[in-house]
Amino acid sequence: QTIFIPKEIDPSEPRVAASPETVKRLTGLGFDVIVEAAAGLGSRITDADFTTAGAKIGKTADAAKADVVLKVRRPTDAELKGYKSGAAVIAIMDPYGNDAAVAAMAKAGITAFSMEFMPRITRAQVMDVLSSQANLAGYQAVIDAAAEYDRALPMMMTAAGTVPAAKVFIMGVGVAGLQAIATARRLGAVVTATDVRPAAKEQVASLGAKFLAVEDEEFKAAETAGGYAKEMSKEYQAKQATLTAEHIAKQDIVITTALIPGRPAPKLVSAAMVASMKPGSVLVDLAVERGGNVEGAVPGKVVTTDNGVKIVGHLNVSGRVAASASLLYAKNLYAFLETMVDKGTKQLAINREDELVKATMLTDGGKVVHPAFANVVV
Ligand code: NAD
């Protein structure tokens, strides 16, 4: 059977869904692997690297031969036309709010898997694309903030005087936020952090940062069984805003990462809070693609406000460290695909009763099969 790895169509997507290591392993499983020419260049992987690992280099039209397509982004309509019916397509499908695209995948007859729906259970940790990519995004957010900030982050005691340490506040401490804390600490900043989940408190402390949050009854119940945050009440949001407003005014750098699955990102930093910050301060909004945590953040732009505060809204932040991001992403996909291969026959054998398959399968046999999209009309 054949696996195809295309060059991503979106020009802002430098990542690729395979690495030389995973190509080697996929051929080891018995697959023919075709990688589209130049697919890895944005991640510093050459065609020669892929051929050395055992892949053939192909063209866009080779998608038609594939039993499995490994991608970063959801296939476009043009890409769907190129796939054979019944092909398994594994990618970050970003299906929420994109019903028409989900319907199009069903209509194309592909078996589409949405990697971001992978359950967060021990067995699937190695397949967790949200974690692998958010971890790098959290790191890069601090690097981007440091690059925009025109002062030093660490305290420096020099013969010519002392430079104070920068104050960095991380809002939302899931995977990205925790890595942002660690990175800012490594650069010598004084770090504080907030979240609505009680479990975050201890994690923040263990990284040497100070935790700040409204710890009322609602906070104590804010974590869902899946480990995610709930959307908080208006009352909680108001209390949270009062607490954080005073704190934000004293910060040099604020990095926001707060998300709620399937919902718009919570607004955590108002325009008034931004205006309260000192000129030269920097905000990085990692949630900008999901509506943003910071009022005034513009997707894909670095905005400077009237009072000289920069709001960084880079898109695809893990893609800014593409060479690292692709290696981890490719490994996540390989680990998932491996569970769907019959080692004896060396054929794809999807077990539709497996919990990983059930959680991630969006479309199959011409139908939308994921319960979250049951009302999508094909
Ligand atoms: P996420 O990207 O969905 O959200 C980022 C953070 O924003 C979360 O910590 C969330 O609590 C926080 N947040 C949401 N609303 C907020 C608000 N109004 N104010 C402040 N913060 C807010 O989260 P994530 O990084 O995907 O992590 C979610 C959970 O999953 C965490 O508990 C994490 O430890 C857990 N996790 C488990 C595994 C595993 O067991 N395999 C792997 C990765 C993550």
pLDDT digits (tens, 9 = 90+) for 299-321: 999 999 999 999 999 999 999 99
Q: Which of 62, 128, 195, 252 is catalytic?
A: 128
Cα separation values, 303 from 180, 256, 299, 306, Å: 21, 16, 10, 10
Rounded distance from Cα 327 to ligand 1 centre (Å): 23
Q: Which residue is listed with tokens 């025109």? A: 150
C-alpha 181/C-alpha 57 separation (Å) is: 41
Test site for ligand 1: of 128, 132, 171, 196, most ligand atoms within 8 A of the Cβ:
196
**3-class secondary-structure state, position 5:** strand
Catalytic residue from among 19, 43, 114, 131 = 131
The verdict on whether 186 is a catalytic residue reads no
pLDDT beyond 90 at 139: yes
| Residue 132: half-sphere exposure toward Cβ, Cα within 13 Å | 25
Structure ipTM: 0.96
Ligand 1 atom nearest residue 130's Cα: 26
| Calpha distance 265→258 (Å, rounded) | 6
Percent helix / strand / coil, the chain, rounded to 5: 40, 20, 40
Strand-by-strand arrangement of the 2-5 sheet: 56-58, 32-36, 2-5, 68-73, 88-92, 111-114, 361-364, 367-368
Give the chain's count of helices (H) and strands (E): 12, 19
Share of the chain above pLDDT 90, in %: 96
Which pLDDT belongs to residue 256?
A: 98
DSSP string, 195-257: -SSTHHHHHHHHTT-EE----SHHHHT-B-TTSPBPPPPHHHHHHHHHHHHHHHTT-SEEEE-
Does this model's pTM top 0.90?
Answer: yes
Q: Is 329 annotated as catalytic? A: no
| pLDDT tens column, 233-288 | 999 999 999 999 999 999 999 999 999 987 899 999 999 999 999 999 999 999 99
The CB of 194 under 6 Å from ligand 1? The reply is yes
Q: What is the mean pLDDT of residues 330-345?
A: 96
**Mean of per-residue pLDDT scores for the chain:** 96
Question: Residue 225's pLDDT band (boundaries 50, 70, 90)?
Answer: confident
Which residue, among 336, 348, 327, has the nearest Cα to 127 in the 3D structure? 336
User: Is the CB of 228 inside a 6 Å radius of any atom of ligand 1?
Assistant: yes
Residue with tokens 């409204």: 214
What is 77-122 written as a DSSP string?
Answer: HHHHHTSPTT-EEEEE---TT-HHHHHHHHHTT-EEEEGGG---SG
